[in-house]
C-alpha cells in the first residue's frame, strides 16, 4: 500500500481528494518540483542544509550585523544556538564521508568557528567536550 503526502495548506475532504482535479496546473507544478529535487545532487542538498544551520546559529549567537530596526545582540539566544550547532555537528559528522573532504573541510571550519563563538558568548562555560556539538566533534578549544 502506497501513501501519498501533500505539503500544501489546503484542506480537502476524502471526496475532494478522490475527485480528479479540474486544473492540471497544480499536478504539473508538483511533478516539476519533484523532478527538480531529483536532479539536485546529494552533496548540494547536504551542503545547503549545513549553510542554513550555520546561518541560523550565527544569528542566534549575535554574529550578524545590526540592521536599522534590530540589534544583533537582541537576537541572541544561546539555547537555540546550542541546538543548531549540535544538529550541524551531527550532520557534518554523518555527512562528511558522503560529501568528500573538499566539501566537508570548510563546513568543519565553520562549525568550529561557531563552537568557539558559543564558548565566548556563554557566561557559564561548558566543560571540555560538553559544549554544543562536541559529542560529535570532540572538545573544541
Q: What pLDDT does residue 6 have?
A: 44
Say if residue 75's pLDDT is above 50.
Answer: yes
Residue 58 three-state SS:
helix
Say if residue 17's pLDDT is above 70.
Answer: no
Residues 6 or more apart in contact with residue 59 via CB below 8 angstroms:
72, 75
Domain spans of the chain, in order of start: 39-136
pLDDT (mean) for 16-45: 71
Q: Give percent of the chain with pLDDT exceeding 90.
A: 62
Say if residue 50's pLDDT is above 90.
Answer: yes
Say if residue 118's pLDDT is above 90.
Answer: yes
**Grid coordinates of 92:** 557534518
CA–CA separation, 16 and 84 (whole Å): 40
Query: What pTM did the predictor assign?
Result: 0.74
CA–CA separation, 13 and 53 (whole Å): 37
DSSP conformational letter for 130:
-
Amino acid at each position: 500500500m502506497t501513501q501519498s503526502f501533500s505539503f500544501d495548506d489546503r484542506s480537502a475532504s476524502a471526496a475532494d481528494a478522490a475527485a480528479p482535479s479540474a486544473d492540471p496546473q497544480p499536478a504539473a507544478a508538483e511533478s516539476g518540483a519533484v523532478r527538480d529535487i531529483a536532479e539536485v545532487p546529494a552533496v548540494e542538498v547536504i551542503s545547503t542544509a549545513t549553510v542554513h544551520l550555520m546561518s541560523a546559529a550565527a544569528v542566534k549567537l549575535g554574529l550578524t550585523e545590526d540592521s536599522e530596526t534590530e540589534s544583533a545582540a537582541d537576537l541572541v539566544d544561546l539555547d537555540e544556538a546550542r541546538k543548531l550547532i549540535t544538529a550541524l555537528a551531527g550532520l557534518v559528522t554523518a555527512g562528511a564521508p558522503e560529501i568528500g573532504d573538499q566539501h566537508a573541510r570548510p563546513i568543519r571550519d565553520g562549525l568550529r568557528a561557531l563552537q568557539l563563538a558559543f564558548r565566548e558568548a556563554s557566561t557559564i562555560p561548558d566543560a571540555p567536550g560538553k559544549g554544543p556539538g562536541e559529542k560529535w566533534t570532540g572538545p573544541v578549544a
